[in-house]
Structure 1
Amino acid sequence: MLRHEFQPGRLVGGISLTAAGGLYLGDLRGLWDIPWFTAIPLAVGGLILAGVTTAVTRAARRRNATEDEKV
């Protein structure tokens, strides 16, 4: 199996969208009542957090790559 680079931004985005889906699944099953507009802040907030995570990861990897070239 080919190994691939770990991408924490995709992990954060996937967890936030899965959490939103889980909340609505609980609403569908009658466990609790979730207003319809709850998905917007969950999805947008999760995607913003995923973008920030991706930017921080990219900056850290770029910094490590330049330090490795100097040695």
Structure 2
Amino acid sequence: MLRHDVQPGKLVAGFFLTLTAVVYAGDAGGTWEAPWFVAIPLVTGGLCLAGATAFLTHAIRHRRPSPRSGRAPEHNRASDGGISGRPE
């Protein structure tokens, strides 16, 4: 299996959407009473936190070059005057 980057923003979004589903499953099962508007702050708040998490993750990861790659980030390599920045 190929390695991939962990994406914490998707983890946060998935957590809040799962939490919303659990709240409504408990309501449907009769365990507790949840008003209809409970989903609005859970989903919107979760998506806002996920966006902020993804933004911070992107900012932290692209602040410096990756130690695994051993090369400069993409936007710095194209600054040598070439149009595409790719070797010919």
TM-score (norm 1): 0.89
Unpaired runs of 5+ residues, structure 2, are 73-88
TM-score by structure 2 length? 0.73
Q: In structure 1, what is the Cα distance between the partners aligned to 2:63 and 2:51? A: 18
Which aligned pairs between 1:25-36 and structure 2 lie closer than 5 A? 25-36=25-36
How many residues are treated as equivalent by the alignment? Answer: 68
For 1:65 and 1:37, how far apart are their aligned partners in 2? 44
2:54 is matched with: 54
- Are 2:8 and 1:18 equivalent residues in the alignment? no
Percent identical residues: 51
Cα distance, 1:11 vs structure 2: 0.1
For 2:59 and 2:65, the matched residues in 1 are separated by 10
Q: Is the radius of gyration larger for structure 1 or structure 2?
A: 2
Runs of 4+ in 1 over 2 A off after TM superposition: none
Q: CA deviation digits over 1:15-47, x for unaligned, max 9?
A: 000000000000000000000000011000000
